[in-house]
Amino acid sequence: MKRSLLLWVASLVLVALSTFAFAQAQFPPGSTRLPQPQMLSGNDIGFRVEGTDVNGRPIGTLVLRLNGNWVEVGPSAGFRPATK
């Protein structure tokens, strides 16, 4: 009984670790990565295209120009109502 419980827990840990590792991949399987990222930008906001997914859609990072340098945009840490 202890052995089967130990194997069951070990299999759960293995599945959790493999799922975590797969989720960390920046590009999904079948996507292509550009050798040099391309910038699509306006004056102060842009999108750095780093590759394409399986369907040919661009994959990249949203960036802002701050003091003349392009910086990645991070997620907001709060909730706001959609309307006032």
Give a yes or no: residue 52 inside a domain: yes
Q: Above 70 in pLDDT, residue 30?
A: no
The pLDDT value given to residue 26: 60
Of 32, 38, 31, the residue nearest 70 (C-alpha): 38
Of 25, 67, 15, 61, the residue nearest 44 (C-alpha): 67
Count CA within 13 A, CB hemisphere, residue 49.
Answer: 13
- Report d(CA 33, CA 58) in Å as an integer: 10
DSSP H/E element including 81: none
To which residue do tokens 């996507």 refer? 31
Give a yes or no: residue 79 inside a domain: no
The pLDDT value given to residue 2: 85
The pLDDT value given to residue 25: 61
Domain extent, residue 20, equals 2-72
Give a yes or no: residue 78 inside a domain: no
Task: Give the count of domains, the chain.
Answer: 1
